[in-house]
Chain A
Amino acid sequence: MRKILKTPFFVLVLLLLLPLSSCNQNLLGAGYAVKNLFATPFKAISNGISNFQYNSIAEKDDNKKSYNTNECWVKRKAPLDNLSDIEKITDAVRGNVCSCVPWGSCTTAECPCSRMCPDNFDIFKRPERKSLGELSFKENSLPFRNGGGGSSVTTTQGFCWGHASVTSKFNRLAFFKENETPKHSLKSKDEKEYGKALDYYKEIVDKIIDNEPVNIPGYKNLNDFASEPGIQEYIADQVAHSWADRAMTFNGIDVALKSNPRSKKENQKFFKDIVKKVDQNQQPQIVFTGKDSKFMTHAVLVSHYEKQSDGSTKLCIRDNNYSRTRGPKVKCRENMTINADGSVRYSAWGDLGGLNVAHNENPDSLTQFKNLKERCNKEKGCSK
């Protein structure tokens, strides 16, 4: 490694990294790759790949000016001046206020583009959502659970990694437009039309899988959409494919082999990193292995977190082995905490061994960020 650091190539790499924060996704990938030249590949894999590009955007989030939520509503020009009572009525009746938030309803004359299409991970926010934890509600979840868990005789880990990845992609990239008429409808009584509709919606699913934001007309939310039998089957296939694309790599094996508990310091840093991601509007995918149990590996989303009375953090887990069709909406039933000895305990599994942010998490987040920003700019007239 020292040899690498001395090469002129290293200097080149350093120079390369500086301006990469505005590049497109291909450059993100390449910049990301070059960044990793500093790491010894095999040894670094299990620790996740430190991501210069991701951090450069995350830092923008840290530096943003905090704003009062009251400022998020901007009053539109009143049709009648000096008639405040009537103004109040028209505000209520005609919606004479607009939301000056990411993806809000204001125009660029009423709210700056930097607020509506932020250049940081606030782009993952949606006006209709009060908290990130709401993503874990039934309506924002797939209507089927991961195939893992259950009987000890036939237990497998299912396609958990694919389930977590596909769910996260839908939550970040899908724009459900219940009242928009789709080009073709799956409710049609004509079988040929049904076939066309199925192809039409499969293309939409493909876009989501490719990290592109897309409208989904005719459906109110993910649960509603993925309940359609033809769609559900296709999404389930994508879950299996997404699992294979991640788990069948060398990185996947590496994750499965890490079963020794990590140090207290490492686990504290992990919790801190996750809290930061959650604060930056992401439910990250994490992968872990049971303590001393190689290949007993699972992937889940972190829904949100809770601060304990002693100041410690409890990570609330959105575990795809549990159905979202029953029970209270958002609780912290499945959770992770740091034990006194520094190891991590998952309420549903006991003590854990390896524990990492999934290796696809940051590349996916970066691509989604760029594509969402591009869509927002176009939609709001901020493309300049």
Chain B
Amino acid sequence: MSHTPTYYNSRRQQSFSRNQNTTRFQSAIKLGPVAHTVLVALMITVLGLIYVTQATRTTGYDYQAQKIDSQIAELNQQKSELEVESARLTALEAVKNSTVAREMVKPASTQYVSE
């Protein structure tokens, strides 16, 4: 079976006889209700897949966030340990027992200079 294309003459073509390739295509293929249903189902599936992909990506971020949280906790713990060590090293008892302190002598007397 053959069919004849129907040409569409735009107003511009009518006026200037240009744009000769401008056509209005009318498909001879008709989509029935089954095809429509399948297409809609396919579209829903694609949209669903897109949603699932996005949700999975979000979950991926959750894992990254969890990993970063763990790193922060680990670093905080190391920081705390260093602070404790620093406090121990600068504790009065440690300072008193340091070699520098041991070589110090008590002043015999204290003098104040008045202005």
Q: Do A and B make up one complex?
A: no
